[in-house]
Structure 1
Amino acid sequence: MNNKEITIYDLAKQLNLSATTVSRGLRGYEAINKKTRLRIEQLATELGYQRNKFASNLRVQRTHTIGVIVPKLNSLFISSVLSGIEKIVNKANYNLIISQSFEKELKEKNNVQTMFNSRVDALIISLSTETEDFGHFDGFLKKKIPIILFDRVTDQIPSTKVVIDNFRAGYIATEHLIMQGYKDIVHITGSMTHSVYKDRFEGYRKALDQYGIAFDPSLMLSVELTEPALRTVLLNDVLKRDRRPDALFITNDSCAAIAQVILGEEGLSVPDDMAIVGFNNDLISRVTSPAITTIHYPGYEMGETIGELVIEQLTAEGGQVVNKTVILDSDLLVRSSSVRRNG
């Protein structure tokens, strides 16, 4: 059996074409006649030709890969963002290498180093809740490799940032509850070390102030956004208070849905006994009964924006690090979980 590696020159000889024409045909150059490209592709498939991407990338000092690090993959929001990114970068002949930090700073640091050693052409990342030191990005910054932060961002890394206006989102969610007549509004949120949750809290607090409701620190609960943590805080704290709160603003739709189940288990009705507003507009917010009022977080559109920005930086002259913030629109989607039925 002949195990000789098939090269472009073998294809060119059989097709009576130049090696340059074959190379461009395999890469889909439109300048090459469509029929000629088809002949090249058919012969390459027939003979088992494998393009040596590593060698060609070394010649242009590009791997045509983009690293993406996210806290966790089991999130509709993250999945939507990744889908939007991939749609755009694939059109520009880039592929994604995706990893997750599992909300651990050490894991994130290891992932960043792996991406750097893999010579990705750019890095896209949403920071873990634990991350407080940002020295692991120094290698990318020194080599002027583009970094794009999204959702969970920091001003300590010179980079492009893609976010929504979390302050406004927190404000309009709280304002809606106030306009419905709710006053004892518990805000359940994640770690305040990150601007995402900090800004939503500031929006919540501003809405209370604007409508003359004194801020009660005991109504602001920063917890891990998981079912066990939420169940603990509701059963051992919120529902045991002498004056039971009348609304929950939870910055995560999954937790908002879990809260709704817990309230039902305790014999409480949503929204009659307690209203709920979530965040993200995940599918679960639309299929619960009642459906959950939420902030629409445009994940797919965010992904497309990130993809366009990274390709723009990769194709720009000079390799200059771009330090800017792009803010996307978000809206309140009012559903039955927060609308008073007695008017």
Structure 2
Amino acid sequence: MAQFTIKDLARELGVSPSTVSRALRDHPDISRATKRRVTEAAELHNYHPNQLAQSLQKRRSNVIGVIVPEIRHNFFSTVISGIEEVAYEHGYTIMVCQSNETLAREVINTQALVSNRVAGLLIAISSETVNHDHLAGVLRQGVPLVQFDRVVEELDTGKVVVDDYRAAYGAVIHLAEAGYRRIGHLAGREGIVLNRRRFEGYRDGLRDAGLALEEKFHISGGYREEDGRAGADAYLALDELPDAILAINDPVAVGVFTRFREAGVRIPDDVALVGFSGTPAAALIEPALTTVYQPAFEMGRTAVSLLMKQFDAEDGTFVPETVVLDTELLIRGSSARRVG
């Protein structure tokens, strides 16, 4: 006879599995009456949590660890808000760490969270993370792990991403249709999947628009505003400027914008500019920044929901899945159609 599961309990009581789970953990959002019904039904059916649930109760806390490259980046702070909302609904709290875009700090954060017996771990890797032994170690210890935005493809975990290739491709096609011909790409650091896919979308967009990829206009850097300023300086040192630039994200695009303005380069008259993220700041500069909108809040909600699926899975039944969220190109003044 099959063991009675949390889903069976939920079905019998007419509530969700997460409500049963929270009731059994005495979560304050669950009424006393519901807790009593759940407890009585569990006793009646001799229900016992599966091994994963037992390990969460006995050896781990009701805290979910979250590691992001930077909290100050609006994209990641919005992801965190989405994570917190769903985590709270399921009776969990979150503990957030930032790697500050360094592998060393990411490793330390990972070890600290696992040592504190977090129930599971959510992570967007740093720009330096080309070695992922520390994350493989998390999986070996049986700690549930979900990656989001910046991920390691080789790790067999849940993943939540956007179609970076398609988004970058669409941005380049937009620029080409607006009349721009020398389109550059201010990229992130090499070795990160996200960067490679955006570059491939950029490259193929140029090809399909009948435009050349000029190596001097493809510059690698980081993810911060100061990296955008440095990239702008690199463009200013060339014998000619590109007439449009696709930046790896909005902070980098804003850095390019401010440095070009200081140098007397007009946007979009001299150089059009497109960012990536859809942060609120993109709409505040003048002209407003064209950007690829990423659903950050939904990314956070989805990532923690995948983690909850892993918590609730029966032993041996969990299969990691990759969720690809839609993006939208928000066309604004920084990439206005070229005249003449």
Q: Deviations over 1:3-41 (max 9, x none)?
A: xxxxxxxxxxxxxxxxxxxx989644857349x9xxxxx
Query: Residues 230, 29 of structure 1: CA spacing in aligned structure 2 closer, same or farther, 3 A cutoff?
Result: closer
Query: Which residues of structure 1 form unaligned runs of 5+?
Result: 1-22, 37-55
Asked whether the equivalents of residues 178 and 338 of structure 2 are also in contact (C-alpha less than 8 Å), the reply is no
Find the counterpart in structure 1 of residue 32 from structure 2: 32
* 2:185 aligned counterpart, secondary structure: strand
Tell me, in whole angstroms, the C-alpha distance in 2 between the residues paired with 1:285 and 1:318. 46
TM-aligned CA deviation for residue 57 of structure 1: 8.9
Query: Which residues of structure 2 form unaligned runs of 5+?
Result: 1-22, 37-53
TM-aligned CA deviation for residue 69 of structure 1: 0.8
Please report the RMSD computed on the Cα atoms of aligned residues, expressed in angstroms: 2.4
Tell me, in whole angstroms, the C-alpha distance in 2 between the residues paired with 1:83 and 1:194. 25
Tell me, in whole angstroms, the C-alpha distance in 2 between the residues paired with 1:296 and 1:141. 32
Find the counterpart in structure 1 of residue 78 from structure 2: 80
Tell me, in whole angstroms, the C-alpha distance in 1 between the residues paired with 2:76 and 2:268. 29
Structure 1 letter corresponding to 2:232: L
Structure 1 letter corresponding to 2:247: I
Asked whether the equivalents of residues 67 and 109 of structure 2 are also in contact (C-alpha less than 8 Å), the reply is yes
Answering whether residue 203 of structure 2 is matched by residue 208 of structure 1, we say: no
Alignment of 1:116-265 (within 5 A): 116-235=114-233, 237-265=234-262
Match of 1:329 among 326, 331, 337: 326
TM-aligned CA deviation for residue 112 of structure 1: 1.1
TM-aligned CA deviation for residue 136 of structure 1: 1.4
Structure 1 letter corresponding to 2:32: I
Tell me, in whole angstroms, the C-alpha distance in 1 between the residues paired with 2:231 and 2:31. 64
Tell me, in whole angstroms, the C-alpha distance in 2 between the residues paired with 1:139 and 1:285. 38
Q: Deviations over 1:160-208 (max 9, x none)?
A: 1110000001101111100001011110011121011110010000011
Find the counterpart in structure 2 of residue 309 from structure 1: 306
Asked whether the equivalents of residues 81 and 300 of structure 1 are also in contact (C-alpha less than 8 Å), the reply is yes
Query: Residues 300, 229 of structure 1: CA spacing in aligned structure 2 closer, same or farther, 3 A cutoff?
Result: closer
Match of 2:276 among 253, 275, 279: 279
* 2:83 aligned counterpart, secondary structure: helix
Find the counterpart in structure 2 of residue 6 from structure 1: none
* 2:127 aligned counterpart, secondary structure: coil
TM-aligned CA deviation for residue 240 of structure 1: 3.5
Query: Residues 227, 300 of structure 1: CA spacing in aligned structure 2 closer, same or farther, 3 A cutoff?
Result: closer
TM-aligned CA deviation for residue 60 of structure 1: 4.2
Find the counterpart in structure 2 of residue 42 from structure 1: none
Find the counterpart in structure 1 of residue 286 from structure 2: 289
* 2:212 aligned counterpart, secondary structure: coil
Find the counterpart in structure 2 of residue 268 from structure 1: 265
Structure 2 letter corresponding to 1:294: T
The alignment's TM-score, normalised by the length of structure 2, stands at 0.82
**Higher radius of gyration, 1 or 2:** 1
Tell me, in whole angstroms, the C-alpha distance in 1 between the residues paired with 2:60 and 2:197. 38
TM-aligned CA deviation for residue 97 of structure 1: 1.2
Structure 1 letter corresponding to 2:152: T
The alignment's TM-score, normalised by the length of structure 1, stands at 0.81
Tell me, in whole angstroms, the C-alpha distance in 2 between the residues paired with 1:29 and 1:184. 57
Asked whether the equivalents of residues 226 and 255 of structure 2 are also in contact (C-alpha less than 8 Å), the reply is no
Structure 1 letter corresponding to 2:296: G
Bigger mean CA offset, 129-138 vs 330-339: 129-138
Tell me, in whole angstroms, the C-alpha distance in 1 between the residues paired with 2:173 and 2:24. 58
* 1:279 aligned counterpart, secondary structure: strand
TM-aligned CA deviation for residue 277 of structure 1: 0.6
Tell me, in whole angstroms, the C-alpha distance in 2 between the residues paired with 1:216 and 1:307. 41
Tell me, in whole angstroms, the C-alpha distance in 2 between the residues paired with 1:25 and 1:154. 33
Asked whether the equivalents of residues 24 and 32 of structure 1 are also in contact (C-alpha less than 8 Å), the reply is no
Q: Deviations over 1:124-149 (max 9, x none)?
A: 10111111222212443223321101
Tell me, in whole angstroms, the C-alpha distance in 2 between the residues paired with 1:341 and 1:215. 20
Structure 2 letter corresponding to 1:330: T
Tell me, in whole angstroms, the C-alpha distance in 2 between the residues paired with 1:25 and 1:324. 27
Percent of aligned pairs with the same amino acid = 36
Q: How many residues get paired?
A: 300
Q: Deviations over 1:212-247 (max 9, x none)?
A: 112211111001233444333323x31233332111
Alignment of 1:96-107 (within 5 A): 96-107=94-105
